[in-house]
Structure 1
């Protein structure tokens, strides 16, 4: 009996105090209000912040934004709601910053014009952890030194293929033997979630065990639920976090080459050094996955090429095309028929035919050529060719009344809305 009481006491101490008060709160769509504290104190404490944050998660929020002198905002199914009745003062936001960063030097770092990317986690009552990806940056405030903290809630369970709605055909194209796979999209489009689902499927493939090196900033998915649950798989994953275990992505990729991996995941291809290192790895027989910010396939290629110095652009462009296997651009579109969002994807497989065609042309012609490829405006399509435009996906979703006319128009253009949804005249 004494032992049980002792264990219970230890367990309660491990819980992040405040989360036990969290619950699902109603959402007022008309007024864009989703107040996450039933009784708001005159001054917010760490426990209040934890309660609010976990209540946001339970209420379906994907992101929470906290700014000096502003009411916190919760993004639920793609819509922003005010999450408290009163604004949070600069000192309250500084308290939150210290809590999530884990030290008092966060404010000093931000005052030094640094952008902080890190992770934060809450210990829940059932013994599990709720993890968050956090970005903290200086903004204009009352005294000119405000702070914005953005917290992205990460699923406790590693996403699977069903969750991200990837078909078997798409998955096969996303899992070649070697080369580079690009998953592009805007911030919040689910790039990391899709990449994690692919990684999960690789770890769970008992017949084809692999060693994966995962480089992130910060680490969003630990894959522990996958590696602890798999029986008979000898796959392994080693994760490194930028600014915690390694100085940058490029150094992480270079170090990965000495670890004899089969697969290298690079959280984001954001600069010349990272893209160069990823290309080198993919051209030496490794399979490399990475993400970038872009709205469509031609823009993604243009963005990757833009980071190369002018005197190296042509040579690196050919390296990129040689290494490229599949490029997918993803958007998450709010549904109007039911709560939630639906993934909309444009993609293109880089086949030998397409590569030869691009290599024979000037790189300035590539964007228009890629547009023709994505939209199927070419002849002599082979069996291995694979492409899909945003219009192909958006138009039927709009016609079925699943997405709005505005979203269909923005993504697919006028052709996506030239036929009214079912039920409209």
Structure 2
């Protein structure tokens, strides 16, 4: 049953497989939930799948915490499998990561971001909600460094989602719960392993952020992800993690070390067969750094709008581009717009 489910997901280019008692297996395809024409799953069906896939350490975590997740290889494909208790039984979600690297051209990454990836030091952040393609964008940036520089890249992930081979770089991939206990420990100890690039799978707590900022200041390129709705909100969230007595120092530290932020979402394509990324790109410039120091993140959007020649892209411009080029339907896109009334007016005129 496990092999059949994974093959179906791969065949249908699904992002996720959902297993819940009482309904058939369900795939997320192009952002939409699609139930398979199969018999409803029983609790025993899901239990068998769970036990066939879940390693012993994760069984212990599930018993203790009620949920666990881990990486799983299936041929050349990789899945992140989340197992959780619900209504006394088991639920599962299996996310499919394709081992097909996009190019920076395909993701329309500007030259300024590419230049940041070969810097000797600094912090670059990728943000967005769950399921927004952060993993794919991060993997693409890592692959770009791996293909163009002779460096040592260390990743700290929970779990490892996309496997990277050694190209020009040496790559060490460490998994939380297997190779290291926490993100903070992973970043701290990685500083002793002669890294050039440190990738933090999720900047989820104050200690991880603190150590990542220190690493970025002391001669390392640090790439990290976190959940934030906009590029400027990512900056606000980082600062808000710290106590009021530290925030002025963190603002100064961040204004000096930040290279840029990509904020993104995924939107169903016009043909209904997939999803397209819409990106807001912020690059740190002297005016942006000044706004960070002055606690004026609300004015950063104006700098993004003025910064096209500096590699910056506003979310609305990125969204309109996808619509004008028929990649996504503008009516669907309007649901994601941050300025929906203005967006609809402009698209209706086209």
In structure 1, distance between residues paired with 2:266 and 2:136: 11
Structure-2-length-normalised TM-score: 0.91
Relative to structure 2, which stretch is displaced further, 151-160 or 181-190? 151-160
The 5 Å alignment of 1:12-411 reads 48-103=1-56, 106=58, 109-123=61-75, 129-139=76-86, 141=87, 145-205=88-148, 208-224=149-165, 227=166, 230=167, 233=168, 235-337=169-271, 339-359=273-293, 361=294, 363=295, 366-376=296-306, 385-404=310-329, 405-411=331-337
Larger radius of gyration, structure 1 or 2? 1
Distance change (3 Å), C-alpha of 1:313 and 1:117: farther
How many aligned residue pairs are there?
348
Deviation track 1:369-398 (CA, whole Å, cap 9, x = no partner) reads 21222233xxxx796x44221111112333
Q: What stretches of structure 1 of length at least 5 have no aligned partner?
A: 1-47, 124-128
Q: How far 1:168 sits from its partner (Å)?
A: 3.6
In structure 2, distance between residues paired with 1:82 and 1:370: 43
Relative to structure 2, which stretch is displaced further, 176-185 or 86-95? 86-95
SS at match of 2:22: coil
Relative to structure 2, which stretch is displaced further, 130-139 or 157-166? 157-166
In structure 1, distance between residues paired with 2:182 and 2:319: 37
Deviation track 1:288-330 (CA, whole Å, cap 9, x = no partner) reads 0000111211221222222223332332232222211111101
Q: What stretches of structure 2 of length at least 5 have no aligned partner?
A: none
Native 8 Å contact 1:64 1:152 kept in 2:
yes
Q: How far 1:83 sits from its partner (Å)?
A: 2.2
Native 8 Å contact 2:291 2:300 kept in 1:
no
In structure 2, distance between residues paired with 1:108 and 1:218: 16
In structure 1, distance between residues paired with 2:104 and 2:158: 23
**Which of structures 1 and 2 has the larger relative contact order (alpha carbons within 8 angstroms, sep 6+)?**
2
Structure 1 stretches of at least 4 aligned residues deviating more than 4 Å after TM superposition: 105-108
Distance change (3 Å), C-alpha of 1:146 and 1:367: farther
Distance change (3 Å), C-alpha of 1:148 and 1:164: farther
Q: How far 1:106 sits from its partner (Å)?
A: 4.8
Structure-1-length-normalised TM-score: 0.76
